[in-house]
């Protein structure tokens, strides 16, 4: 007697589930809570001229518009029945003539052993935990905190008058940084693209986190979950850190560089460790560039970030929302458009007769001296280096210009506290070369 009744119910449920899993309904509401005071940040009343994709007529309006569009980008891709709240502000952060902290964001809470948790004794960022649990586990507070640097606007002594660009979906001018792309990047951290493991390899409250489950040292084959603190410490600095997750592996065919033969994509694990950048980003060797790399790239996609989100348990649409997203991100520390090289990683390149080739390198905060070697020369090329600016024949912190194929070296040059250095190789003749930059202490 009761069977038909239950059948009807189950039929009804099946219809609902079909609707819920249809590809058109991926969405989450990501709302922005304005954390700024009167007249500053998002409330800055300085008049502004509308730019493509942003009709705001004050600085504050344009900033808030960018945040809302970036929040909608992720909101249209991810699926969650629980609203994701982002408490955001724009405040003065570090900035000097050549480098700046652009912004930072992260989850406000980590949650473990909540209803429907995929794995016990494991910390999930609250937005993902809420989505998996189907309820707001922290109803009293926002899920993500985000702060961006307001000093970048209208300030000649900050980045030499390089400003935020508040347009959306277009090309960013060369003298500006896209806030939209930067917010997309930072929100991805807040949604879970980060580990809670610290720079010493210690787990947060002694628990695994969701992100580290996918981290494997490709040299040893060991997972971060089973490693000792000392092994995680070493793995975060040895350049062998990769992501093991089926969705990322399946998407890794887009890469020409930055993955293993098995399709495991590399994460950023240089030596020395770079606080705020190491481990919680894709490696800078990825070609084409990805949204979640730690430093400036001219173009990037979020294909692998979306795949990593799927590996983590986010329900996510396979195609981007309508609208043409052109990403030109620059994050955390602003660098010029020159190729970035890592300390302790050799670069092979060539230079033409009378040509300059420039590179930039970001030293760690503790570096007091920089060493640069130019060798394996096939003909006469010369070396010029300078802290904070591009070197010239006359303006540099070290120049080395021997004849023929003699190696050029700038050794033990004091950084004077400058972290961003520019390396210039000048072709006195056309030549192939190898460039090697180190810092001390390492
Ligand atoms: Zn980042």
User: Per residue in 356-400, pLDDT tens?
Assistant: 888 878 777 778 899 999 999 999 999 999 987 778 898 899 999
405 Cα to the center of ligand 1, angstroms: 41
CA–centroid distance, residue 437 to ligand 1 (Å): 24
3-state helix, strand, coil in the chain (%, to 5): 25, 30, 50
How far is the C-alpha of 88 from the C-alpha of 121, rounded, in Å? Answer: 30
DSSP H/E element including 180: helix 179-191
Q: Are residues 221 and 356 in the same domain?
A: no
Asked if 315 and 413 sit in the same domain, the reply is no
Q: How far is the CA of 105 from the centre of ligand 1 (A)?
A: 8
DSSP one-letter string for 85-130: EEEEEEE---B-SS-BB-EEEEES-EE-S-TT-SSTTEEEEHHHHH
Residues 204 and 316 in one domain: yes
**Rounded to the nearest whole angstrom, what is the distance from the C-alpha of residue 293 to the centroid of ligand 1?**
7
What is the distance between the alpha carbons of residues 293 and 295, in angstroms, rounded to a whole number? 6
9 φ, ψ to 5°? Answer: -60, -45
Report the DSSP pairing between strands 163-165 and 103-107.
unpaired
Q: Are residues 313 and 348 in the same domain?
A: no
Structural domain span for residue 379: 338-440
* Most confident residue range from 13-27, 247-261, 319-333, 344-358: 247-261
Q: What is the Å distance from ligand 1's center to 289 Cα?
A: 14
* 422 to 130, 278, 344, 384: CA distances (angstroms): 45, 22, 15, 8
Residue 323 has pLDDT above 60, yes or no: no
Under 8 Å CB-to-CB from 3, ≥6 apart: which residues? none
Domain limit, last residue, from 330, 350, 383: 330
Q: What is the pLDDT of residues 224-279, one digit of tens each?
A: 999 999 999 999 999 999 999 999 999 999 999 999 999 999 999 999 988 888 99
CA 249 – CA 307 distance, rounded (Å) = 9
Given the structure tokens 């998996």, which residue do they identify? 132
Residues 399 and 277 in one domain: no
- Do 311 and 163 lie in one domain? The reply is yes
CA atoms 412, 439, 396, 430: torsion sign? positive
Domain boundary among 281, 299, 330: 330
CATH number at residue 389: 2.60.120.380
Same domain membership, residue 93 and residue 59: yes
Mean pLDDT of 215-219: 96
Confidence of residue 297 (pLDDT cuts 50, 70, 90): low
Same domain, 146 and 222: yes
Residues 326 and 342 in one domain: no
Domain count, the chain: 2
> Which of 50-54, 101-105, 335-339 is predicted with the least confidence, judged by mean pLDDT?
335-339
Residue 1 has pLDDT above 50, yes or no: no
Judgement on whether residues 103 and 169 belong to the same structural domain of the protein: yes
Residues 262, 356, single domain; the answer is no
**Residue 334: pLDDT above 60?**
no
Among 330, 355, 372, identify where a domain stops: 330
Centre of ligand 1 to C-alpha 61, Å, is 25
User: pLDDT per residue over 50-97, tens digit each?
Assistant: 998 899 999 999 999 999 999 998 998 888 899 999 999 999 887 787
Cβ atoms of 67 and 183 closer than 8 Å:
yes
More confident residue, 277 or 174: 277
Q: Are residues 130 and 259 in the same domain?
A: yes
Integer CA distances (angstroms), 151 to 37, 308, 392, in order? 16, 33, 29
* Cα 309 to averaged position of ligand 1 atoms, centre (Å): 15
Report the separation in Å between the CA atom of 212 and the middle of ligand 1, taken as the mean of its atom positions.
16
């Amino acid at each position: 007697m009761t069977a038909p009744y239950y059948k009807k119910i189950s039929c009804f449920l099946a219809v609902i589930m079909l609707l819920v899993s249809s590809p058109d309904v991926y969405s989450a509401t990501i709302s922005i809570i304005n954390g700024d005071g009167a007249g500053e940040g998002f409330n800055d009343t300085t008049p502004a001229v509308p730019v493509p994709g942003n009709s705001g007529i004050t600085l504050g309006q344009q900033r808030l518009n960018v945040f809302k569009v970036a929040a909608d980008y992720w909101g249209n891709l991810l699926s969650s029945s629980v609203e994701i709240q982002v408490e955001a502000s724009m405040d003065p952060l570090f900035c000097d003539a050549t480098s700046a902290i652009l912004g930072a964001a992260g989850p406000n809470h980590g949650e473990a052993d909540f209803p429907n948790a995929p794995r016990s004794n494991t910390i999930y960022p609250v937005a993902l935990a809420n989505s998996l649990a189907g309820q707001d586990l922290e109803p009293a507070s926002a899920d993500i905190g985000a702060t961006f640097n307001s000093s970048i606007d209208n300030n000649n002594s900050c980045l030499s008058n390089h400003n935020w660009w508040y347009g959306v979906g277009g090309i960013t001018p060369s003298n500006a940084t896209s806030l939209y792309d930067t917010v997309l990047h930072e929100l991805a951290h807040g949604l879970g693209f980060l580990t809670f493991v610290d720079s010493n390899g210690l787990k947060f409250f002694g628990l695994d986190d969701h992100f580290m489950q996918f981290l494997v040292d490709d040299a040893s084959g060991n997972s971060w979950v089973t490693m000792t603190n000392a092994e995680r410490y070493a793995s975060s600095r040895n350049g062998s850190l990769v992501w093991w997750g089926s969705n990322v592996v399946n998407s890794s065919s887009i890469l020409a560089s930055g993955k293993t033969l098995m399709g495991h994509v590399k994460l950023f694990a240089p030596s020395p460790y770079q606080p705020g950048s190491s481990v919680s980003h894709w490696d800078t060797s990825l070609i084409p560039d990805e949204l979640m790399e730690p430093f400036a790239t001219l173009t990037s996609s979020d294909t692998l970030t979306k795949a990593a989100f799927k590996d983590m348990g986010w329900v996510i649409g396979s195609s981007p929302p309508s609208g043409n997203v052109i990403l030109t991100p620059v994050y955390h520390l602003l660098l010029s458009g020159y190729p970035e090289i890592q300390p302790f990683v050799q670069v092979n390149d060539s230079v033409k007769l009378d040509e300059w080739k420039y590179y930039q390198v970001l030293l760690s905060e503790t570096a007091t001296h920089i060493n640069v070697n130019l060798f394996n020369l096939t003909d006469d090329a010369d070396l010029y280096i300078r802290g904070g600016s591009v070197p010239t024949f006359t303006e540099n912190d070290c120049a080395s210009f021997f004849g023929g194929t003699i190696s050029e070296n700038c050794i033990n040059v004091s950084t004077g506290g400058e972290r961003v250095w520019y390396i210039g190789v000048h072709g006195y003749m056309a030549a192939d070369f190898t460039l090697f930059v180190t810092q001390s202490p390492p």
